[in-house]
Amino acid sequence: MLAKDPGDHVVVVTGAGNGLGRAHAHAFAAAGAAVVVNDLGGGRDGSGGSTGPAQHVVDEITAAGGRAVANTDDISTWHGAKAVIDQAVDTFGGLDVLVNNAGILRDRMLTSMSEAEWDSVIAVHLKGTFCPTRHAAEYWRNRAKGGAANDARVINTTSPSGLFGNPGQTNYGAAKAGIGGFTVIAAMELARYGVTVNAVAPTALTRLTDDLPAVHKLAETVDLSPEGVSPLVVWLAGPSASNVTGRVFAAIGGTVAVVEGWAHGPQAHTDGRWTQQQLDEVLPALLAKAAPNADMTGQRPPQ
């Protein structure tokens, strides 16, 4: 169930031509929402472009009796992102939910990564979350200033790589970690306008993860289909989540979890300025008490 009458709900899903985005678009349409299916139609590395993937998802939705339109604008650009938001408002009369899901991969070890491989991934994931959210936020702010009440949602896509780390993905992980921080701050800023902002860190078998042996191994025992993540995304758009904001959730097979953010662990205090000798004495003991970092499944190894 969505936050209001599903027949009046308008949802934008970016990167919705394949994988998670496609699953989310179908799930929202099945709930009765009108969906703007955004996808540039490029490869998993961001190269190329085609109207095919977005239109194919629209055709699937409409064949099932749903409402959807295709959009192929580049949401990592200011004007492309605005065009997506404008299309939702112009076509369906408003905007209630923005799902920022578009992404690419250009994995490389740090010592071999090129500037282009860094820039392209940061642009699609991080700027591609900022730009649509910025234009959607302006729309909702203007509505609020005009006396209208919003019950709107932003649902971002982060990743275990950004939350817990994964070798070969400094670009992707940095972008996804940035989305986590963006989510927390945007939630603080947009609450006054009746907008919640949350993020989901999915583990799913898609074309972005298809060449990762660890994902395939996990998929032998856990259902990692993209469709398994969509119920959480739709729930975040619904009435039960109206007061949930600034949170990051993990979805992995049949498990959902609230991801707890950075917090101070063991600590020490001095009334003066720390010396190197004092730190030599204090920090090893603090590190010994500190919980280890979680692995890619979000679990801490035993101490």
Residue 216, CA atoms < 13 Å, CB-side half-sphere? 6
Alpha helix (H) ranges present in the chain? 19-30, 52-63, 78-92, 115-122, 128-145, 160-164, 170-190, 213-219, 230-236, 276-289
Give the three-state DSSP class for 154.
strand
Catalytic site residue 159? yes
- What residues have CB less than 8 Å from 263, skipping those under 6 apart? none
The residue count of the chain comes to: 303
Catalytic site residue 172? yes
- Of the candidates 40, 16, 15, 39, the one whose C-alpha atom is nearest the C-alpha of residue 27 is 16
| Whether 177 contacts 166, CB under 8 Å | no
- What residues have CB less than 8 Å from 206, skipping those under 6 apart? 18, 19, 20, 226
- What residues have CB less than 8 Å from 279, skipping those under 6 apart? none
- Of the candidates 71, 62, 66, the one whose C-alpha atom is nearest the C-alpha of residue 21 is 71
Catalytic residue among 76, 82, 139, 159: 159
Give the three-state DSSP class for 48.
coil
| Whether 249 contacts 218, CB under 8 Å | no
| Whether 61 contacts 25, CB under 8 Å | yes
Give the three-state DSSP class for 135.
helix
Catalytic residue among 120, 176, 193, 230: 176
Catalytic residue among 120, 139, 161, 172: 172
List residues with catalytic annotation. Answer: 159, 172, 176
